[in-house]
Amino acid sequence: MKIVLASASPRRREILSELGLDIEILPARRDEMVRPGAAPEEAVTALAYGKAAEVSAIRPEALVIGADTLVAMDGELLGKPRDRLEAGRMLRALSGREHQVYTGLCLMENGQGETRVEESVVRFRELSDQDIEAYIATGEPMDKAGAYGIQGLGRLLVRGIEGDYYNVVGLPVGLLVDMLSQRGIDIWDLRQKR
């Protein structure tokens, strides 16, 4: 079975590679626009489905994985920051507080897709202006929802996490395995057929 990841995310690619899966990367080109007022679960579901559908139209015979991750706090969705100023605003808002990380995951084959959502809670430690400026200076926040990457230097900002760590990275592995299993696909068999 050919598996195609509809994402350019190096983190998602790395997670799937570490699982031993042979995947093709074919990033969706659609804009990641969220409907104003959308609930986080609705937003990530729509984005993941849209990515998977676009790539599945090109590769209908493959199992396409679409995923999208957003950070939410107090009802506000935090995507990728547009610039350093916005990254600073996001990090100041997250400082010393809890927020939710949502990933929509869509598996699609022959135009038939299933989408589910994983939620994790992340607690940040109190961040000084120096912490925030030093982290922004690394450039790491600029391509990550909520302006941080828990798998990188962003781990220095985090006090704790409830839920799937890999969800916060961008691909909830437990949910992926469950969704594959529901389709009659054993993750161990996929590994052995490499």
Question: Per residue in 141-161, pLDDT tens?
Answer: 998 999 999 999 999 999 999
Supply the CATH classification number for the domain 3-192: 3.90.950.10
pLDDT given at position 190: 80
Query: Catalytic residue among 22, 68, 178, 186, which?
Result: 68
Share of the chain above pLDDT 90, in %: 80
- Helices (H), ranges, 82-148: 84-94, 129-137
Reported as a single tens digit per residue, the pLDDT across 70-100 is: 999 998 899 899 999 999 999 999 999 999 9
Rounded to two decimals, what is the model's pTM? Answer: 0.91
Q: Six-digit token pair at 28?
A: 């969706």
Task: Tell me whether residue 164 is one of the annotated catalytic residues.
Answer: no
